[in-house]
Amino acid sequence: MIKSAFAALAASSTLFAGAAFAGPYVNVETNAGWTGDDYTGATTDFHVGYEGAIGDGDSSWYIQGGPSVVAADGVQNEQVWSGKIGASAALSSSVGVYGELSAATADSDFSAENLGVGGKLGVKYSF
């Protein structure tokens, strides 16, 4: 019985080897804020994501999401849900562009009325 379970596990790992190579990841990120020397709070994301190349590898994409803990100064911590989707592309050997769309619920409710959305666009020049 145990040998069968190991054999099944080994076979399933070869079936999913392509997916594992494509780029699943875990991302834990904290963003904190201050006004002057006054700490205002932090949000910590606990995301699971997936990333991959676009075309010949000069461009890439990612998608990630999961729970976030919002810890505002003087307020009880709150759990919300958040996610991000983004891409980047090399325009030349020294110039790249990137963009990201993010969303988070205002509380643990998934309704559209509780969804905050943000975006980011940028250009990066490497010396």
**CA atoms of 51 and 95, how far apart (whole Å):** 21
Identify the band that residue 16 occupies on the pLDDT scale cut at 50, 70 and 90. Answer: very low
| Domain range annotation of the chain | 23-125
Q: Determine the Cα–Cα distance for residues 114 and 85; give it in Å rounded to an integer.
A: 19
Give me the half-sphere count of Cα atoms (radius 13 Å) on the Cβ side of residue 72. 5
pLDDT tens digits along 79-126: 999 999 999 999 999 999 999 999 999 876 677 788 999 999 999 999
26-39: per-residue pLDDT in tens? 999 999 999 999 99
User: Is this prediction's pTM over 0.95?
Assistant: no
Q: What is the pLDDT of residue 22?
A: 66
